[in-house]
Amino acid sequence: MKREQLIAEIKKKRSYLCIGLDTDIARIPAHLHQAADPIFEFNRQIIDATYAHCVAYKPNTAFYEALGAKGWDSLCKTIEYIPKECLSIADAKRGDIGNTSSFYAKAFFETLKADAITVAPYMGEDSVKPFLEYKNHWTIVLALTSNSGSADFQTRSVGENELYLEVVKKCILWANTDQLMFVAGATKPELIKKIRQLAPDYFLLIPGIGAQGGHIDDVSDAAITPECGLLLNASRSIIYASQEKDFAKKAAEEAILIKKQMEKWLDKSMA
- Active-site position among 58, 93, 194, 259: 93
How many CA atoms lie less than 13 Å away from 211 in the CB half-sphere?
Answer: 14
| Shortest distance, position 116 Cβ to its own copies, whole Å | 16
| Shortest distance, position 123 Cβ to its own copies, whole Å | 5
Q: How crowded is residue 210: how many other Cβ atoms within 10 Å of its Cβ?
A: 21
Where on the chain is the footprint of its own copies (CB under 8 A)?
Answer: 22, 24, 60, 62-63, 65-73, 76, 91, 93-98, 100-101, 103-104, 106-108, 110-112, 120-128, 142, 145-154, 156-159, 163, 166-167, 170, 212
Q: Which is nearer to its own copies, 9 or 22 (CB)?
A: 22
Q: How far apart are CA 118 and CA 127, in angstroms?
A: 12
Q: Which is nearer to its own copies, 173 or 271 (CB)?
A: 173
| Shortest distance, position 18 Cβ to its own copies, whole Å | 16
Q: Which is nearer to its own copies, 93 or 194 (CB)?
A: 93
Tell me if 60 sits within 8 A of 20, measured CB to CB: yes
Active site residue 93: yes
Q: Which is nearer to its own copies, 231 or 252 (CB)?
A: 231
| Shortest distance, position 62 Cβ to its own copies, whole Å | 4
Q: Which is nearer to its own copies, 109 or 138 (CB)?
A: 109
Q: How far apart are CA 55 and CA 107, in angstroms?
A: 23
| Shortest distance, position 216 Cβ to its own copies, whole Å | 19
Tell me if 118 sits within 8 A of 87, measured CB to CB: no
| Shortest distance, position 140 Cβ to its own copies, whole Å | 14
Q: Which is nearer to its own copies, 56 or 167 (CB)?
A: 167
Beta-carbon contacts of residue 264 (< 8 Å; ≥ 6 apart): none
Q: Annotated catalytic sites, by residue?
A: 93
